[in-house]
Structure 1
Amino acid sequence: MMMRRGDVPWGRGGGPRTEPPPADDAPAWIGGALPDTWFQGPAEVTIDRDEILIVGRLSPPTLADDASEADRVAAEQGRIAGFRETTRDQRIGIAQQLERRYRRKVSWGVQVGDTRELFTTHSAPVMTRLRQSERQVLDTLVDSGVARSRSEALAWCVALVGQHADTWLRELREAMQSVDELRKRGPAV
């Protein structure tokens, strides 16, 4: 079967969705697959059960001493656009290999100075049941124009919690990693 970018051989078409394989070695695999000339240092790799996000830091453009803030932003955007265009085919090839190996969508982004841009991202649907009081929160956000839909309102709420609970979420993720390490050291069943 010929696969095209965007074709996903797992979880669609009525077939059962199974958990993707572990991706513990994905950052190392990605580090080996990426050309050494692309990024300053190793890429930042973020992995969840649906997506692998690869963000690399590009060297900043050289500017004149009297360059304005607007000049800096424009130069950084130009650097990003140039990188995105010249690496497109190679990034697609790497993404296809990663998607086959780890059964997750692959997204890309770069950072230059203070400018961070994600080229592609994967939006995964999440089903949930909400009680009336919770739906009213979402509807208030929609009715006030903060969000265009309940889905967008829920995403806004999640982002807001993420901003305000960052320290707690980081501690929770670290604790989960410790539990995973203990499980791995336990007896095989």
Structure 2
Amino acid sequence: MITNEAVERVRGWFSGRLPEDWQASPADISVDRDEIVVTLNLPDTAASEGAGEAETAEARAGRASAFREDTREQRMAIAREAQHRYERAVSWGVRVGEHEQLFTHLATPTMTRLRQPQRQVLDTLVDAGVARSRSEALAWCVRLVAQHEDDWLAELRAAMSQVADVRTRGPAA
């Protein structure tokens, strides 16, 4: 479990390290045991008068793409520093208005053992064309649970983080 203090340290380091002109508001930074994901909030595009939704969406996608190309070397240098410091991969993304795009991110394999009823759920999703494989079906299920149980998961993570913080302050073995 990642402690609140560890997450705060990562967020603090990135807030001091990221160039101010890269963000309209502070970056969103999430940390797990494998990866740090830095999502930069870029200024929204000024849509031309009378621009439709499609034009605005494409303008935002264009700004995200230009940012990715223009900052590649500098982002890679920052990522190398952070990876050395925190021993985790660093992934990047941007948010421009309602457009969000991850440039890089990990897709980590996870081993699981499922009994027949759970395998049948996955196989149904595959057979129905919702997913191409059991792995993709399981990822779909996880996304669905996260989407519908977001508040509960956030409360659970906060409680686990508190336990981890108390453990670190406990007596040495």
TM-score bracket for this pair, using the shorter chain length: over 0.9
Between the aligned partners of 2:86 and 2:170, the Cα distance in structure 1 is 25
State whether structure 2 residue 37 is matched by structure 1 residue 53: yes
- Give 1:52 deviation, angstroms: 0.4
Deviation of 1:42 after TM superposition, in Å, equals 1.4
Match of 1:78 in 2: 62
Matching residue of 1:154: 138
How far does residue 111 in structure 1 lie from its aligned partner after superposition? 0.4
| Counterpart residue number, 2:99 | 115
Percent identity (aligned): 53
Match of 1:69 among 18, 39, 53: 53
Does the 8 Å CA contact 1:38/1:58 hold for their aligned counterparts? yes
- Structure 2 residue matching 1:106: 3-state secondary structure: strand
Flag as ranges the 4+ runs of structure 1 deviating above 4 A: none
Residue-by-residue CA offset, 1:122-181 (whole Å, 9 max, x unaligned): 011100111111111111111111100010011001111111111110110111122123
**Structure 1: runs of 5+ lacking an equivalent:** 1-18
Native 8 Å contact 1:23 1:102 kept in 2: no
Amino acid at match of 2:23: F
Q: Which amino acid aligns with 2:53?
A: E
**Greater CA drift, 150-159 or 100-109:** 100-109
Could you tell me the TM-score, scaled by structure 2's length?
0.92
2:164 corresponds to 1:180: yes
Per-residue CA deviations over 1:22-57 (Å, capped at 9, x if unaligned) read 843111111111111101121100000011000011
- Distance of 2:72 and 2:146 partners within structure 1: 31
More helix by share: 2
Indicate the residue corresponding to 1:168 in structure 2: 152
* Number of aligned positions between the proteins: 171
Normalising by structure 1, report the TM-score.
0.85
Give the whole-Å Cα distance in 1 for the aligned partners of 2:92 and 2:52.
29
Contact 1:58 1:111 in 2 (8 A): yes
